[in-house]
Structure 1
């Protein structure tokens, strides 16, 4: 069995992984500084929770366009632009804080700008991971290492941030965060993305967004992964939103103590990354996700009722273990399930739900804490998390792998009319002859074929049966333009799509091969 650290032996992966670690540490230091600055100025749980909202809300608003952009433009160039934006925002935050000109509103505003940079960066960063590893089999390992990266940073960053704030003030942690983006920019200069192989022009933004939406809508495994994320993240956001308030108001800790509590969460997350492979050998993904949610809920209960700091710190390690266990499974599912042509868009939807859940959840739990008290808000969050985690058992995330490697198995259509790229809509029909004893199996198999057509570009799909010749079936699907249909031929199909087609066609009468026809608008100027 290959080592779980194997991708780190690759120079480019290792360089970017280390740069990401430095950036993650800087971001956690910045979060500690921002939350503590607002805590000192206002003491409002609602305002402190809005730091998380300001960081996450831009992903909710910009994540989907950013994912489409990452599938259209050069991903390295997009990553560089995002780093420059975040460098500017964090540098401004450091300078204004050092001059004594920063207030709570300013912190939230510049945190919002940093969130915009994160929204632009995340889909592209996640999508390039398969380009950094040696084989497709290493993609899940690379995804797990991404979780280790974030959670080691979670263990180091808060404690370091708390120490720096205590010794030198919040302006310093903001400056350190700005420097971390320079490290990432340097690392990106060492990576050169693979050259594009498609002969087709880059997709336009709106059609690309629509194509990504269709793919996610008609990919059952991705929808289930997204559903489990939606059940987990908004409730789990209570931990990150309310922990600084609990540290200050219930445990009487200063910024250094708060940093140590976050370090305990991070240490538990690192332990979770080590233990997860062993857990997965005994439990399915479905059970592990539910158990992670229940375990995190239990830690919220302890945080609500216990007033002994060291006991809370020990228990918070289990929250980190639960957090990394759930997110590693969800992230790996998205990485290996979405094919390359739509990977960034699929990941953008996942990140939108994830960050949007954090943003909305943080605002809800912060407001509830202001209304009914901190203890009540934590207990309500724990109860809802237990219910949603157990309900998630009915939204199973399978463990079997799908072949998402590109497959160009459709032959080039023989055409007399020569359509332009914009010609459309295009109607494609496929005629099949199926023996009567195979009819039920054929129609069942064609359901998977229909979802394949819809994922890869079809606007509509249906299957009809000839009333005068019951053994004759007609598959019909419509594509927006000839260019979109060419994209189906030229890289959108995968090995899994080929397998579902082969399964359906194995049921066709071998003496009557299926027949494919392409219909173009008779009056293209009449639309």
Structure 2
């Protein structure tokens, strides 16, 4: 059986390299299995797109293959992320791998029997995408469990290499099978390719996470994930940049087969070779990033990747021969890996473990939304005008999207300490409180000298953001009109259980913001903390209270 040892931090004297994650046996086994599975996936992608290309004359239907793959992620990413944070990730992975194998087997059988149409391929590709959408958030977060934080960036890059090794090999194999046999055999081989991953995950002895408070329900977990993103500037900056990039990049993925078949009048083999050049470039990009990583920050990497995609779309629109496109696709592969690993690494380094799958799912939702929406827009534009006009318009979009680096800079989280601080004392209570009882109001009283109050309020704004991020429905700071130096911070939480979870969500990195607020407290004793529970008690609803009991904060 494959065990999951606790990752050890690399020796400080030894600088982590791209290969450091391979020293962890579970990561190595899962990575090898993922290469095999990814090869099957890329064979399937080529076969599916080419099959639709031969079954219809509509460029829109061909572009909708990208939408059929991406749309399930758009619809299911958030629920999948919540499931990945709430239930056993190993069992979820076993389910998704088995589900996708069955769907690929059905698609292969129908194709070999000649009972498939363009709409049938789109429908089953969509169903296969459902399995991939549920699988993706948990697969991303598993990497965090297999390697230490110091080499997470290298592990994410290697996951990109896995996909791009498959991109380099899979399309060529898929194109050859299509040319000599049938796309149906490609779909069957993809079904078989899931077995390696299923076997490795089955053998993985994952250590379950210790409970850190009352269990979350599904709806509450979804809300908590959305709140975390809403009040995390580093995360929503990545999301804006991700959507802009994926919306523009979707034209290359959605219309490349049309360029090969309709503009250059070439075969499926040429399409497979083109994707192989993309994959080869991405593999080369992994090694180049090892050198460029210390010279280029995430902003610069994304800007450079976007600039390359400007040239890519211009070349796809105007290049007179496929031989011009080979080096372009190689550079595009480098840019794709560099940009996508920058997005993914930034997200995963800026979120704590308790909400990681949910935040990753939001990132993937935004990414897939850009691909899905972009595929429809650029495909429709190609049908209504010309292929060249659509590709040149995409190049203009990519150029304009680079301006987002000014209002939405990306921040590296490599040095953040996102372990739970667990420094808040457990409040003393009389009697028993059910985790579903609520709402709860927490009040913290400070004594702040008048000259210090402007600076205190600036620091308190950041602390308020953390309260809202970690589960509060409302939060704020008020001054006592009878005592000008007495300031009360309050935050309002739906249930007692949610407040207990807040205790474990406050990270060691957040301690610095809390310390900035506490430095202004001038009282002889620490700030006084009081907890108020709604009376009468209620379950997950806000109950108005009378004036004599407690005023509801506005």
**Which range, TM-score by smaller chain?**
over 0.9
Q: Is the 8 A contact 2:21 2:151 kept in 1?
A: yes
Aligned to 1:101: 115
Q: 1:321 Cα shift?
A: 1.3
Structure 1 residues 483-526: Cα deviation after superposition (integer angstroms, max 9, x where no partner):
1011112x222111222112221222152420110001122256
> Residues 19-30 of structure 1 correspond to what in structure 2 (within 5 A)?
19-30=33-44
Q: Is the 8 A contact 1:143 1:335 kept in 2?
A: no
1:99 to 1:212, Cα distance in 2 relative to 1, 3 A: same
Aligned to 1:375: 388
Match of residue 266, structure 2, among 241, 247, 253:
253
Distance in 2 (alpha carbons) for counterparts of 1:395 and 1:379: 25
Aligned to 1:432: 446
For these two proteins, the number of residue pairs brought into alignment is 525
Q: 1:308 Cα shift?
A: 1.0
Aligned to 1:12: 26
Match of residue 200, structure 2, among 183, 187, 191:
187
Aligned to 1:335: 348
Structure 1 residues 272-309: Cα deviation after superposition (integer angstroms, max 9, x where no partner):
22212333323322122112111111111011001211
- Give the 3-state SS of the residue equivalent to 1:297 in structure 2: helix
In structure 1, list runs of 5 or more residues that go unmatched.
Answer: none
- Give the 3-state SS of the residue equivalent to 1:200 in structure 2: coil
In structure 2, list runs of 5 or more residues that go unmatched.
Answer: 1-14, 545-554
Q: Does structure 1 residue 290 correspond to structure 2 residue 278?
A: no
Aligned to 1:509: 522
Match of residue 152, structure 2, among 139, 149, 152:
139
Aligned to 1:312: 325
Distance in 2 (alpha carbons) for counterparts of 1:336 and 1:71: 17
Aligned to 2:480: 466
Distance in 2 (alpha carbons) for counterparts of 1:343 and 1:360: 25
C-alpha RMSD over aligned residues: 1.4
Aligned to 2:136: 122
Structure 1 residues 254-278: Cα deviation after superposition (integer angstroms, max 9, x where no partner):
1111101111111111122221233
Q: Is the 8 A contact 1:12 1:190 kept in 2?
A: no
Aligned to 1:299: 312
Distance in 1 (alpha carbons) for counterparts of 2:240 and 2:296: 20
> Residues 26-425 of structure 1 correspond to what in structure 2 (within 5 A)?
26-133=40-147, 135-198=148-211, 200-400=213-413, 401-425=415-439
Distance in 2 (alpha carbons) for counterparts of 1:177 and 1:392: 39
Q: 1:382 Cα shift?
A: 0.6
Q: 1:201 Cα shift?
A: 4.2
Q: Is the 8 A contact 1:156 1:263 kept in 2?
A: yes
TM-score (normalizing by structure 1): 0.97
Match of residue 519, structure 1, among 525, 528, 532:
532
Distance in 2 (alpha carbons) for counterparts of 1:510 and 1:21: 61
TM-score (normalizing by structure 2): 0.92
Distance in 1 (alpha carbons) for counterparts of 2:154 and 2:484: 50
More helix by share: 1
Aligned to 2:8: none
Q: 1:417 Cα shift?
A: 4.4
